[in-house]
Amino acid sequence: MTSSAQPLWRRALPWVLIVAATLILPVVLPPFRLNLLGRFLSLGIVALGIDLIWGFTGLLSLGQGIFFAIGGYAIGMYLQLDSLEPGQLPEFFGLYGVKELPSFWQPFTSPLFTFLAIWVIPALVAGVLGFLVFRNRIKGVYFSILTQAALLVFFNFFNGQQKLINGTNGLKTDTARIFGELVGSDAMQRWLFWVTVLLVVAAWFLCRWLTSGRFGDALVAIRDDEPRLRFTGYNPTAYKTVVFAVAGAMAGVSGALYTVQSGIVSPQFMAVPFSIEMVIWVAVGGRGTLIGAILGAVLINYAKSLVSEALPETWLFIQGGLFLLVVTALPDGLVGWWRQGGPRQLQAMVGWPPVVPTYPALDLDPAVQAEAAELTPPPAQRAES
């Protein structure tokens, strides 16, 4: 293998594995496990958004649950209406004496509007919120506190709207139909899994594109030294507003995918612990690595599911231990640890000899062999010495 082909092979290998897993896992895994994997992959999209704003821009948001839930409610409202006959209302409206469909529900009868609302509305909310915060040069821990405060405001607002969006009960989606098929059926969940994989890959490419050019350099400059960037003539407010809006849009798409695979959307998507967990996924996977955000979301949530099935009361302690491990021993997360030679360090700790790389192509080169023969003394001379 030539040196030019080696990097190409390494770059292609992850995508080959992704394609293979996408084709094999729906056949191998039972429907329940496949549904869980689809949910956790959808959470990888919101984790990518957090990595974009935190890992590359230095904005630690503790309120991504706002945009996640908005995307979930958008698809939930559409599915509630799409399953009804003309003139009918969702069942919960009758419980509260609502006789007419509220005006803000009516656009969600359109699939095109819903498709746009899933990511446009979260992006607009994030953009407006970000602009109001960033233009006042609020950053650091104060930004984190403000996003969490906004999360609490949205949570309490959605939680109290019993007549309009069914309040604490949320909106169920598993009994709705898409293209004549139940959303909660095994066949539809298999299709949703494939859609989720495609959108996760698309989200990764989007984040990679945003962080690889001059825009990405500006984001890193904001993270490392924002005053210097401002003195050079750039406007950090515009960059931070745009990237925060993009992360909000990604959270909305993630929330919509999670809703149709979990079967319900509720204000619990805006609960404070859930948004904090999102940050933990990115920290454990590897901040500023993109792929680490996806791995952290999938691995931690799968571990949470398996541990909760066996020992329900122990997961919170394990999650706290993971976060402490990252803060104290793995500041760059699992992906950063791997890229910095973590396996070799672990190998040295247990006493295994390191693997020494060889160069067979160089050893077999005729010129090198001729030079080695000239430098090597004859057998008789070696015996005398």
Is residue 246 within 8 Å of residue 45, measured between CB atoms?
A: no
Look at residue 21 in the predicted model and tell me its pLDDT.
78
Per-residue pLDDT tens over the stretch 250-262 = 999 999 999 999 9
Q: Give the confidence band of 2 by pLDDT, cuts at 50, 70, 90.
A: very low
Is residue 72 within 8 Å of residue 154, measured between CB atoms?
A: no
What is the pLDDT averaged over residues 121-142? 94
Q: Which residue has the higher pLDDT, 312 or 274?
A: 274
Mean pLDDT of the chain: 87
What is the pLDDT averaged over residues 333-346? 77
What is the pLDDT averaged over residues 81-110? 87
What string of DSSP letters covers 261-299? HHSEE-GGGG-HHHHHHHHHHHHHH-TT-SHHHHHHHHH
Look at residue 351 in the predicted model and tell me its pLDDT.
64
Query: How far is C-alpha 306 from the geometric centre of its chain's CA atoms?
Result: 20
Taking the C-alpha atoms of residue 195 and residue 205, their distance in angstroms, rounded to an integer, is: 15
What is the pLDDT averaged over residues 32-42? 93
Structural tokens at position 174: 């598993």
Look at residue 6 in the predicted model and tell me its pLDDT.
44
What percent of the chain has pLDDT above 70? 87
Which of 263-267, 313-317, 331-335 is predicted most confidently? 263-267
The answer to whether residue 1 scores a pLDDT higher than 90 is no
Claim: this prediction has a pTM higher than 0.75: yes
Per-residue pLDDT tens over the stretch 157-168 = 999 998 999 999
Look at residue 356 in the predicted model and tell me its pLDDT.
53
Look at residue 87 in the predicted model and tell me its pLDDT.
77
What is the pLDDT averaged over residues 296-304? 92
Per-residue pLDDT tens over the stretch 101-124 = 999 999 999 999 999 999 999 999
